[in-house]
Every structure is written in C-alpha cells, then in structure tokens.
C-alpha cells in the first residue's frame, strides 16, 4: 500500500486513539507504517496487529486475549485484534501508560522517536537497531505531516 492510501485508510483510527490518549496521530501512523510495512505485513492483514504487539499481558478493552496461531522464531506469539481500530487504541493505551516519557513528547516527532527507540519497546535481542528505528520513525513522521494536513483540510 502506498503512503497516501495507508494514511487515508488508517488516519481515522490513529486520530481516535490519539485523541483518547493524548498522543499525536502522526507518530502513531508513522510507527504503524514501520511495524507493518505500510499495512502489508501478515500481522496487519491477517490479525489486525498494526504495531507488532506480542500476545502477553492482561486482556483489556481493546485486546481480548486472542493470539496468533503462528509464532515467530524464538517462540513469540502476537496479539490478534478484532479490528484495526482496536490495535491502534491498544497501542495508544500502552504508550500512554507504560511509555509515559514518549507519550509526553509525542507532538514532537524527533523527541518521540528518540524516546521510543531507546526504550524497552525496541528489542535489540530481536535484531532491532535503535538508531535506525529512531531515524526512520522521525523521517516517516515528517513525511506524513503534509498528507495528514491535506486530509484534514478535505474534511473541513
């Protein structure tokens, strides 16, 4: 899916999650784009998991405990959601409650990217490169700003 189509399709979910949890929808979309390859990953397409959230922890209003039936090398199971919106809401809930420093600076994409990339959200054990993730998140967020601006003005 191209950047504009992805943004058009998932901006409402990012906006809803952002409004509910006080987060910038642009950074939510940017992080989802990274985690799903612009909405094309198996986790996104088959399981509505747009952030690579693992299937551990306590069920909540957005995630009812369902897990993928396939595991990643290393035995990881991932959350299965009823809808993309629930994935966006669960992600925003997680960031707002567990990654409070990142949430506090979400309206500053560069600061948010640094906070989240150097938090335990990113796992170098899984081969993640914190510096590359930080740079990619910041770059994608910046590239989404004009698209989101144009979409917001279409709806006025």
Average pLDDT over residues 138-149: 94
Token pair, residue 92, equals: 């925003």
CB 67 within 8 A of CB 57: no
Q: Name the residue range of residue 43's domain.
A: 3-51+82-154
Residue 74 has pLDDT above 90, yes or no: no
Residue 40, in any domain of the structure: yes
Measured distance CA(35)–CA(122) in Å, rounded: 11
Q: Encode 87-104 in three state secondary structure.
A: HHHHHHHHHHHHCHHHHH
Token pair, residue 140, equals: 């994608």
- Who has greater pLDDT, 92 or 71? 92
Q: Residue 140: which residues within 8 A CB-CB, separation 6 or more?
A: 30, 33, 34
Residue 69, in any domain of the structure: no
Residue 40 neighbours by CB distance under 10 Å: 10
Residue 72 has pLDDT above 60, yes or no: no
- How many structural domains comprise the chain? 1
Q: How high is the pLDDT of residue 70? A: 64
Angle (nearest 5°) at CA 147 between 1 and 129? 60
Residue 76, in any domain of the structure: no
Measured distance CA(26)–CA(148) in Å, rounded: 8
Residue 74, in any domain of the structure: no
- 1-26: per-residue pLDDT in tens? 899 999 999 999 999 999 999 999 99
- 75-133: per-residue pLDDT in tens? 778 999 999 999 999 999 999 999 999 999 999 999 999 999 999 888 765 567 888 99
Residue 128 neighbours by CB distance under 10 Å: 12
Question: Quick one: DSSP state of residue 75?
Answer: T
Write down the pTM of the prediction. Answer: 0.92
Residue 65, in any domain of the structure: no
CB 68 within 8 A of CB 43: yes
Residue 70, in any domain of the structure: no
Question: Which CATH number is 115's domain given?
Answer: 1.10.530.10
92-104 as b/e: b if 16+ CB within 10 A: bbbbbeebeebbe
Residue 32, in any domain of the structure: yes
Q: How high is the pLDDT of residue 140? A: 96
Residue 61, in any domain of the structure: no
């Amino acid at each position: 899916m191209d950047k504009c189509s992805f943004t058009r399709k998932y901006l409402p979910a990012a906006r809803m999650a952002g409004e509910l949890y006080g987060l910038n929808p642009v950074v939510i979309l940017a992080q989802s784009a990274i985690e799903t390859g612009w909405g094309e990953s198996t986790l996104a397409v088959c399981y509505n998991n747009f952030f690579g959230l693992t299937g551990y922890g306590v069920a909540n209003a957005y995630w009812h405990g369902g897990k993928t039936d396939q595991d990643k090398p290393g035995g990881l199971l991932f959350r299965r959601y009823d809808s993309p919106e629930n994935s966006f809401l669960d992600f925003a809930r997680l960031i707002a409650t567990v990654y409070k420093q990142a949430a506090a600076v979400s309206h500053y994409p560069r600061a948010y990217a640094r906070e989240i990339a150097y938090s335990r959200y990113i796992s170098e054990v899984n081969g993640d490169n914190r510096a590359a993730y930080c740079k990619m998140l910041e770059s994608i967020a910046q590239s989404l700003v004009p698209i989101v601006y144009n979409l917001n003005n279409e709806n006025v």
